Structure 1
Amino acid sequence: MWTLYSSKTSPFGRKIAVGAGLCGVSDRIRTIVSIPRDPDDPIRSINPLGKLPTLVMDDGEALFDSPVILEWLDAQAGGGRIVPNGNRRFPALRLQAVGDGIMDASILQMSERRYHEGEAYSVAWADHQREKVIRGVVFLERNLQALSGEPHVGHIAAACALGYLDFRFDGFWRPGHPALEDWLEAFEAAVPSFRESAHSA
């Protein structure tokens, strides 16, 4: 049994849940809810960065971050399940990088709200991150062809990024992006582990 340290609100943790489902290994993972900002949380001794998600393998060694974990899960499933081979590999990895970047920028906006109040809050910094998100969404819309075909790590990251924007930012991306909305709806219908891993507060 592998142990996944994650949280119900982490979009990166959701990536692992979705990927595990697509690889057919969900039943080999037990999830422990972790709070990295808690100094007593064991995640700090398991992952030197103290970040989620972190996966502990059978031998006690830990893997992080989400692209590495997904690559490992794919290998456990025999390879080529969610990490394409050949000329499809790098387009998939690029798409994953865009989805991860949207999530990173979104989380930085949340952190700015949570930890910097009043004069300490930087509107310029928050706007800088929001612009990254907007550009990322536009990229996804303009590259819908890359979102077609069998689900892979790029699709997983894109879906989890859009899902996090729905969860934390009231789905502000939806107006003006009907084709991307349709894609996300189709992905949710086709991938049970995405539906089952929906965010909860």
Structure 2
Amino acid sequence: MKLLYSPASPYARKVLALAHERGLTGRITVATAATAPTGAAPDVTPHNPLGKVPALLLDDGTVLYDSRVICEYLDGLGDGPGLFPQGPARWDALTRQALGDGLLDAALLTRYERVLRPEAQRWAAWDAGQVAKITAALDRIEALVPAMPALDIGAVAIACALGYLDFRFPELAWREGRPASAAWYAAFSARPAMAATAPRG
């Protein structure tokens, strides 16, 4: 299998972290691929018409995207208990994955607005609206972490989202007023899978 990846992408990090947790890294070739919301992505678009990473190229020519689909596919290949539980716990894990991914969606839109859009065209109300979503997601995470399972796809997604805030938005100081989340993240980010996939670039 071949994973099209960006070292700064939190969604690609989620896939790689799951692959580490499931003992699959030896079965995946990682290929760095350039993408941009305003430009062409010639390494990616032939495989994913949306021009986004991650995309997983299977040996039979099938291509999987986005990160949620890839994570569930890879989870089924690993040995032992997976990160996608069954029964009622599944819906809780998937909802927490959606919370982490939604936080990332708002963070990426904020970054695009602040970094890529020409300064004269930036929209303060848009920026404020996305930051409000980030704040609301962080407050929900603070309420959830005391009862969160030690490891599932929801925990991985939330950890990758918090790691992205550290990487791109240190000024948000998301730990302030959220001691449960700060303590949980400090412990979870020490996992080998998280240390091996820390964002860069």
TM-score normalised by L of structure 2: 0.94
Aligned to 2:192: 192
1:62 and 2:56 matched: no
Deviation at 1:39, TM superposition (A): 2.6
Identity of aligned residues (%): 37
Tell me the TM-score normalized by structure 1: 0.94
Amino acid in the other structure paired with 1:44: T
Query: How many angstroms apart in 2 are the aligned matches of 1:155 and 1:146?
Result: 11
Q: What residue identity is the alignment partner of 1:34?
A: A
Deviations 1:95-140 (A, max 9, x none): 0000000011000011112222222001111111111110001000
Equivalences for 1:145-156 in 2 at 5 Å?
145-149=146-150, 151-156=151-156
- Matched AA of 2:54: P
Structure 1 residues 85, 108: CA separation in 2 closer, same or farther (over 3 Å shift)? Answer: same
Number of the residue aligned with 2:46? 45
Unaligned 5+ segments in structure 2 are none
Q: Tell me: CA distance 1:40–1:49, structure 2 relative to 1, closer, same or farther (3 Å).
A: closer
Greater share of residues in helix: 1
The separation in 2 between residues aligned to 1:172 and 1:41, in whole angstroms, is 36
Give the superposition deviation at 1:60.
1.4
2:19 — aligned with what? 20
Aligned to 1:7: 6
Cα gap change, 1:175 to 1:122, in 2 (>3 Å): same
Q: Which runs of 4+ in 1 moved over 3 A?
A: none
Between 1:111-120 and 1:96-105, the stretch displaced more is 111-120
Query: How many equivalent pairs are there?
Result: 198
CA distance in 2, matches of 1:39, 1:116: 17
Per-residue CA deviations over 1:67-102 (Å, capped at 9, x if unaligned) read 100100011125741111112100000000000000
Unpaired runs of 5+ residues, structure 1, are: none
Maintained 8 Å contact 2:34/2:41? no
Residues 95 and 40 of structure 1: CA distance in aligned 2, closer, same or farther (over 3 Å): closer
Residue pair 1:95, 1:158 contacting (<8 A) in 2 also: yes
Matched, 1:114 2:115: yes
